[in-house]
Amino acid sequence: MKAIKTYEHKKILVLGLAKSGVSAAALLHKLGAFVTVNDSKPLSENPEAQGLLEQGIKVVCGSHPIELMDEGFELVVKNPGIPYYNPMIQKAEEYGIPVITEVELAYQISEAPLVAITGTNGKTTTTTLIFEMLETSKKHPLIAGNIGTVASTVAQKATEENMIVIELSSFQLMGIGTFRPKIAVITNLYDAHLDYHGSRDEYFAAKALITKNQTEEDYLIVNADQEEVLKIARDSKAQIVPFSTNEVLNSGAYVDNGWICFNGEQIMETKDIVLPGKHNLENILSAVAAALLSGADQEAIIKVLTTFVGVRHRLQYVGNIAGRKFYNDSKATNILATENALAAFEEPIVLLAGGLDRGNSFNQLIPSLKNVKVLITFGETAEKVGQAGYEAGIKTILRVDNVEKAVPVAFQYSVPGDVILLSPACASWDQYKTFEVRGDMFIEAVHKLR
């Protein structure tokens, strides 16, 4: 960890705790800052805040008092989930106080170069693949961000011998200042999180920040099949490394006659890859590019791609029971992710879908339901998802209370050779705290069938 003096004796507010806030507060305290933590959860119900209090950090809990902003802070480190229209953030901006997220701190103290991955879909799979390829190549990678340990925690133990592979959301990227990854990846861009960003353009602009500080010494790996991503690439100073599943490229990563290729060299045959789906082929191409640019061995890449069966909750193979294959795709919190999951299979599908209602219809999903023989819905959107299934011509549409009850029903209405797929096309928060909890409930219910 770099022993920076940037925050010594500076008065800093950490707004919102969770894992990132706890890590940021403790780090800033270690760097000599005068830290105040503000979290909405009462202190008596807030073990994280209690722990920081024991370290000698000032804690204000139970609400976000706007008058706190009059205490002369020189910096605000906010939880990524707190929107910029929050009154505390607006007051900070009114006073000209810089507002950052914890990943900016991680970059500032890291001795290790960063490989940063963002995009709408595929971030977690791509991040995991890059990490596994570098790990198998004995390059001593560390994994951080949304997928693993908080970035500023990881950065404290990283050395020049390491490389940090970090998954980044648009929320995190909006709070960077000097953050500069050696290698950046943009998997794809589609409409998402518009309730937070306000518009498609604002969301895309947030994603583009990943390359804001890159120079010609750095690399930006981009999806050449998407004009929105190529537009970002045209404004970047980094060396552009494209990838494509649709065409053979002059450079970068692509598929040619059934082979994964990079810069004109064959890496491995696609038939030997165990991870299903065209969308995963995009993830694989971007991961291969990032891994090779980071010094990974071709043999290690082949080993990973012939054994990697998927990230937990992202088209994760759970098992085979009486000839039915079960897949957990709980991380499919939008329609596009479910479309990708459905496209990954040629077998008949029993689809489990539904969740938080954000006001959108599911008409976009209808063309992708052609291989679905049974649709089982749950959650706030159960009726809307069921209507899409009806319009798609699905004969058997059933509504249940939750994921746990959907699994035995799916088994009952399936036959050997079917795929039983949890791919909700919705967020989980109407019934489950996180998509991980929802996926775990699915896995547990599958195991009970045994």
Q: Residue 124, annotated ligand binder?
A: yes
How much is the pLDDT for 193? 65
How much is the pLDDT for 279? 84
Residue 442 neighbours by CB under 8 Å, 6+ apart: 318, 328, 330, 352, 403, 404, 407, 422
Encode pLDDT of 44-66 as tens digits: 999 999 999 999 999 999 999 99
The closest of 340, 337, 373, 367 to 355, measured between CA atoms, is: 337
How much is the pLDDT for 69? 97
CATH 3.40.630.30 fits 11-100, yes or no: no
Encode pLDDT of 254-276 as tens digits: 999 999 999 999 999 999 998 88
Cα(380)–Cα(202) distance, integer angstroms: 28
Q: pTM, whole model, 2 decimals? A: 0.83
Residues of the chain with CATH 3.40.50.720: 11-100
How much is the pLDDT for 197? 65
Q: Residue 122, annotated ligand binder?
A: yes
pLDDT beneath 70, residues of the chain: 191-198
Q: Residue 125, annotated ligand binder?
A: yes
How much is the pLDDT for 445? 98
Strand 324-328 relative to strand 316-321, pairing: antiparallel
How much is the pLDDT for 324? 97
Query: What tokens appear for 447 in the block?
Result: 């195991």
- CATH of region 316-449: 3.90.190.20
CA dist 431 to 356, 357, 378, 402, 435, Å? 8, 11, 9, 8, 10
Beta bridge partners of 118: 186
Cα(406)–Cα(375) distance, integer angstroms: 10
Q: What is the dihedral of CA 167, 169, 175, 180, to 10 degrees?
A: 40
Classify domain 103-305 at the CATH superfamily level.
Answer: Mur-like, catalytic domain (3.40.1190.10)
Residues of the chain with CATH 3.40.1190.10: 103-305
Element (H, E) at 145: strand 141-145
How much is the pLDDT for 310? 83
Q: Residue 126, annotated ligand binder?
A: no
